[in-house]
Amino acid sequence: MAGEYVIEEMISAKAIAARVEALAREISAHFAGTDKLVVVGLLRGSFIFIADLVRELDLPVEVDFLEVSSYGMGTESSREVRILKDLRGEIEGRDVLVVEDIIDTGHTIHHVLEILRTRRPARLEVCALLDKPSRREVDVRARWTGFEIPDRFVVGYGIDYAQRNRNLDHIGAVRFLE
Ligand code: PRP
C-alpha cells in the first residue's frame, strides 16, 4: 500500500502545453513530406501525452498502441520486456514515432526499439516527455525530449503512483511523509 504523500508541482500544465507545441513543430518539420507516420504510444503512461502531441502535428498520422510489461522480477542485467498488447498495424517500411512518457533506466524503450527494429520500419524515432538521465542503465536517447528532470518520483499527465494520479493536468513530484 502507498503510504501518505503530498504532490508538489514540478511542471505546470501551461509549460507542458507550450513544450508539446514546440516538440510537435520539430517533429512535423523532421517528418515533413511523409504520408505514412505511425505514432506509437506506449501504454499506459503515454496516453495523455500522445493525445496532445498528435493534435499538434501538422502531418497525416496513424495512431497505434503497444503495451509491454515492466521487468519487475529480473536482475538488472537480465531485464526484458514482454509484449502485453501488440500493435494493430504493420510497420514495415513505415516511418514510426514512439511516444513515451518517461525514460528512466532506459530498459523499456531499449527493448521496445529492439522489438520494433526487427519489423523493419523505414525510420524509427522516439519522443519522450520526461527524461531522467541520472538514472540511466542502458545507453538510449530519445531524439526529442520534453523536459530533463532530476531523480524525483513523478506523477500526473499520464504517469501514476500505484495507479493513481494519472489524471493530474501537470507533472508533480511525490514527497513521502514520515
Ligand atoms: C514506466 C514508464 C516507462 C517506463 C520507464 O512504465 O511509462 O514506460 O516505466 O522506465 P525505464 O526507463 O526504467 O524502463 P510502467 O511500467 O510504470 O507502466 P505504465 O506506463 O503502464 O505506467
**Positions of the chain with pLDDT lower than 70, given as ranges:** 1-2, 71-79
Q: Smallest Cα–Cα separation from 145: which of 54, 67, 49, 71? A: 49
The predicted pLDDT at position 73 comes to 55
For the chain, the domains span 22-150
The predicted pLDDT at position 2 comes to 63
The model's pLDDT over 144-153, given as tens digits with 9 standing for 90+, comes to 999 999 999 9
How far is CA 47 from each of CA 94, 117, 133, rounded to the nearest angstrom?
22, 22, 22
Counting ligand 1 atoms within 8 A of each CB, the residue from 102, 140, 155, 171 with the most, and so the one to mutate, is 102
Closest-lying ligand 1 atom to the alpha carbon of residue 107: 14
The predicted pLDDT at position 58 comes to 96
The predicted pLDDT at position 123 comes to 98
Q: What's the grid cell of residue 108?
A: 523499456
Closest-lying ligand 1 atom to the alpha carbon of residue 163: 22
Stated pTM of the model: 0.95
- 56 secondary structure, DSSP code: H
CA of 53 to the centre of ligand 1 (A): 19
Counting ligand 1 atoms within 8 A of each CB, the residue from 108, 135, 159 with the most, and so the one to mutate, is 108
CA 6 to chain centre: 24
Q: What is the CATH number of domain 22-150?
A: 3.40.50.2020
The predicted pLDDT at position 178 comes to 77
Scanning the structure block, which residue is given the C-alpha cell 512535423?
28
Asked whether 67 lines ligand 1 (CB < 6 A), one says: no
Residue nearest to atom 8 of ligand 1 (CA): 108
Closest-lying ligand 1 atom to the alpha carbon of residue 106: 12
The predicted pLDDT at position 71 comes to 64
The predicted pLDDT at position 81 comes to 87
- 85 secondary structure, DSSP code: E
